[in-house]
Amino acid sequence: MTGDVIVDRIRSICIGAPFEWVEATRWDSFELQPTTNIDGVFRVHPPSSQVVKGQFGYVEDRTDTIQVWVARKHNSDFDGVRQALLRDMHSLTSAIVRDAHQVSGEYVVLDEGRGHSIGVGEAEEGSTDKEYVSLRITFPVNYEVQL
């Protein structure tokens, strides 16, 4: 398994039912996304390494961090969109943990280091000048890599 395979699995979860979100035009920002198409848009950042442990036989045990961002148009209903993003966070976390444990079985989502934040635009704290609110979920994933 590689980090790219895990990212692709997470992307397929976000695109598929029950989420059916649309992938952002760029993986690193929502800024180029048309405002008419910002609700239910997601992006997955490439994995960043936390811990790498070498093993025998050209195998290593990796723990990487993967961030998933979801944008929702707020239409000045900040409380409603915050509640929707919290539901999205719980549902997406459950779907990814289930995929790791039951479907794939080749990676594990760790509890330690997992977290989320919600903010206007792409900031955790900020003004209300953007048309969307974003959710950022951080997943530490552990898997073995054949080198």
Residue-range domain boundaries for the chain: 3-146
- CA nearest 143: which of 80, 49, 32, 40? 49
- Interatomic CA distance for residues 32 and 55, integer angstroms: 42
- Each residue's pLDDT, cut to its tens digit, for the chain (147 residues) gives 788 999 999 999 999 999 999 999 999 999 888 888 999 999 999 998 776 666 666 778 889 999 999 999 999 899 999 999 999 999 999 999 999 998 888 899 999 999 999 988 776 555 557 889 999 999 999 998 765
pTM, rounded to two decimals: 0.88
Q: Helix (H, G, I), strand (E, B), or coil: what is residue 114?
A: coil
CATH class belonging to 3-146 = alpha beta
Count Cβ atoms below 10 Å from residue 63 Cβ, excluding itself.
18
First to last CA, the chain: 10
Q: Helix (H, G, I), strand (E, B), or coil: what is residue 42?
A: strand
